Amino acid sequence: MGLAKRYTAIMTDPMTLYIYDHCPYCTKARMIFGLKQIRLNLQILLNDDEETPIKMVGQKMVPILELEPGQYMGESLDIIARIDRTLDAPVLVGTQNPGLDEWLAKTAGVMYRLCMPRWVDAPLEEFATDSAKAYFTKKKEAMIGPFADELGKSDDYIQMITMALKVLAPHIQSATAVNGTLSYDDIHLFAALRSLSIVKGIDYPAEVESYRHAMARASGVNLHDDIAR
């Protein structure tokens, strides 16, 4: 890749990604920009704003990437594939470990039950209004039950996650790439760990702790440790 193309990318307006800060799929889409060092403009939508995403991609769903003014694409994995092909060689070239997929699928339920009631209570831009909070709460409580009940089960859930993290730890081959070379596994795993960072009181095994910090640095996606609850 020529210097000229990279220079042009630096000097022209960055693309805009429409997101919710808490959204793990948005974390995935954000990561590829950081990993490839491509500038990005982030726009956080209010969680009850249905009109804006529907106008852009026909459904109330983020992330949405504005490739050119007025040209939009949804679906995190499509965005990642598109950006990974842009500028210089792809970075997500490592092989994946099917065991990690399994780990993520098994932990997803508990993670959401821990995270959802905490996200809506946190100072995140998508929940800046009472109506945005009420919208999220109604939609997600219909899926997992009352948030108050879920918060009451926190100790059990945290214990389950702590055990799951101990299982994960020996599979982290390097702090900068779970399988030694960056791959889609890093996208999926960091997005899950970043979600979990809203939960206070999790004791991370050393390998997981190094990995989530190194990945946050490399991808430019902040953890929520500072607002954990």
Ligand X SMILES: N[C@@H](CCC(=O)N[C@@H](CS)C(=O)NCC(=O)O)C(=O)O
By C-beta, is 20 or 172 nearer to ligand X?
A: 20
What is the secondary structure of 137-163 as a DSSP string?
Answer: HHHHHHHH--HHHHHHTHHHHHHHHHH
By C-beta, is 77 or 108 nearer to ligand X?
A: 77
By C-beta, is 100 or 175 nearer to ligand X?
A: 100
Taking CB atoms, the residue at the shortest distance from ligand X is 23
Residues in Cβ contact with 207 at an 8 Å cutoff, skipping those fewer than 6 apart? 169, 170, 172, 175
Residues making contact with ligand X (CB under 6 A) = 20, 23-25, 60-63, 75-77, 139
Q: How many CA atoms lie within 13 A of 108 on its CB side?
A: 11
Shortest reach from residue 5's CB to ligand X, in Å: 27
By C-beta, is 188 or 212 nearer to ligand X?
A: 188
Shortest reach from residue 140's CB to ligand X, in Å: 8
Shortest reach from residue 67's CB to ligand X, in Å: 15
The residues with which 72 forms a beta bridge, in sequence order, are 66
Shortest reach from residue 61's CB to ligand X, in Å: 4
Shortest reach from residue 187's CB to ligand X, in Å: 11
By C-beta, is 6 or 60 nearer to ligand X?
A: 60
